[in-house]
Amino acid sequence: MQDFLFYLVSGLCIGSIFALVAVGYTLVYGIIKLVNFAHGEFYMVGAYASFGTYSLLPSSTSPWLAIPLMVLAGGTAGAAIAGLTERVAYKPIRRSGRLAALLTAIGVSFLLQNLFAFFSQARPLQYPTEPHGSVGEICQRTVLLGTDGLVLIRFAYIGAAVLFCALLWYLVLRTRFGRAMRAVSQDADAATLMGIDVDRVIRHTFLIGGGLAGVAGTLIALQGVTEPMMGFLPGLKAFVAAVLGGIGNIAGAVVGGLLLGVIESLAVWAGVPTGYKDVAAFVILILVLVIRPQGLLGRVTRVKV
């Protein structure tokens, strides 16, 4: 039982990160039908920004002030790079078709990875775990679950996922801007005719998605490493999570992310060799898509010929 709990909690923690990243994927897809493959790089940029903030803060800063500031910086940088990418790379080709946009997204992804590799000399950055009471040390502290230690900061992943998903739910369903987003997602041309500033909605959607990715990257890097390629795998997993939940559906992205994390983890508990834990998750994905091609919470869209 204790083992089961450990695997379940581990899965929920990493699943929360997938959920935060997947929400950004799904928001952007919902608005402009773009699979933004550069989304993982917003996560990476967030991690770098928080590391930069950490380096700039005087070493006497209390970690309880420093960590929120770093998360804020990571989120802001994720939003900024997403906004910049939208303005520079996606907006000029918005009418050029989805293939052009997809290829541009892959190009942006490579560009950001290599820019950061160039400037960081590709050396992975880590928060020093000494002295006692420093940011790095606090983020390695553990809590015992039976006899197994779990890093405390991972519970913040779940907290962040709950907090930001609740805020997003409020934003999308209870505000004027949310209504505009839903309108653009249903029919951008009709929304324009209704007086909605579609460009602004798209821009703000990127800002929100990028911000969530930046927060996720910061949280992971706090107990991990910051390096240029760090966004690739979470980006891929989040994309899978978004598809699993039904791409374009926000609640679906959250459910998909959590499910993906939990399935991977519980597969190991159930005896699947660790080398095959991703395979287990992908088998479930394929099964879901065979039975419900629109994803768990996705809606069927009929295309009339």
- Interface with other proteins by CB under 8 A: which residues? 3, 6-7, 10, 13-14, 114, 117-118, 121-124, 126, 129, 140, 142, 144, 147-151, 220, 223-225, 227-230, 232-234, 264-265, 268-269, 273-275, 277-278
- State which residue, 89 or 125, has the beta carbon closest to other proteins: 125
Q: Kindly state the smallest distance separating residue 168's Cβ from other proteins, in Å.
A: 24
Rounded to 10 degrees, the C-alpha dihedral 52/84/243/111 comes to -70
Q: Kindly state the smallest distance separating residue 217's Cβ from other proteins, in Å.
A: 10
Residues in Cβ contact with 184 at an 8 Å cutoff, skipping those fewer than 6 apart: 31, 191, 196, 198, 201, 202
Residue 303, phi then psi, degrees to nearest 5:
-100, 120
Q: Kindly state the smallest distance separating residue 149's Cβ from other proteins, in Å.
A: 5
Q: Kindly state the smallest distance separating residue 273's Cβ from other proteins, in Å.
A: 7
- State which residue, 5 or 251, has the beta carbon closest to other proteins: 5
- State which residue, 170 or 276, has the beta carbon closest to other proteins: 276
Q: Kindly state the smallest distance separating residue 209's Cβ from other proteins, in Å.
A: 21
Exposed e or buried b per residue across 274-292, where buried means at least 16 C-beta atoms within 10 angstroms of its C-beta = eeebbebbbebbeebeeee
Report the distance separating Cα 11 and Cα 154, nearest Å: 11
- State which residue, 109 or 185, has the beta carbon closest to other proteins: 109
- State which residue, 226 or 249, has the beta carbon closest to other proteins: 226
Q: Classify residue 77 as exposed, middle or buried by CB count within 10 Å of its CB (0-12, 13-18, 19+).
A: buried
- State which residue, 234 or 246, has the beta carbon closest to other proteins: 234
Do the Cβ atoms of 297 and 54 come closer than 8 Å? Answer: no
Report the distance separating Cα 9 and Cα 26, nearest Å: 25
Q: Kindly state the smallest distance separating residue 36's Cβ from other proteins, in Å.
A: 19
In angstroms, what CA-CA distances link 136 with 62, 64, 121, 129? Answer: 12, 12, 22, 5
Two structure tokens written together for 184: 């653009």
- State which residue, 30 or 234, has the beta carbon closest to other proteins: 234
Two structure tokens written together for 264: 């991977």
Label the pairing between strands 148-151 and 142-145. antiparallel
Q: Kindly state the smallest distance separating residue 216's Cβ from other proteins, in Å.
A: 11
